[in-house]
């Protein structure tokens, strides 16, 4: 019975490590996507703002 307990404990530890590693990758991916999206939107706003102001002044 002790061997079964050790095996289950080792399996649970391995599973926990895999779940933790997956969560870290998912969080890092989410941050990267949000950061890239923020940079894209911020850059777009910097490019579009002068164009929109020019159009507004022409009206």
User: What are the residue ranges spanned by the domains of the chain?
Assistant: 1-58
Among 16, 18, 22, which Cα is nearest to 8's? 16
Give the position of tokens 């940079």: 39
Dist CA 9 CA 25 (whole Å): 24
pLDDT for position 22 = 78
Give the position of tokens 């997956």: 22
pTM: 0.39
Dist CA 19 CA 26 (whole Å): 10
Q: How many helices (H) and strands (E) does the chain have?
A: 1, 0
pLDDT in tens, 5-57: 666 677 777 777 877 777 777 777 777 777 766 666 666 667 767 767 777 77
Tokens, residue 7: 């095996």
């Amino acid at each position: 019975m002790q061997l079964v307990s050790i095996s289950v404990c080792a399996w649970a530890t391995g599973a926990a490590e895999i779940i933790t590693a997956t969560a870290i990758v998912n969080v890092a991916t989410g941050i990267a996507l949000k950061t890239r999206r923020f940079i894209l939107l911020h850059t777009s706003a910097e490019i579009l703002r002068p164009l929109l102001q020019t159009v507004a002044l022409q009206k």
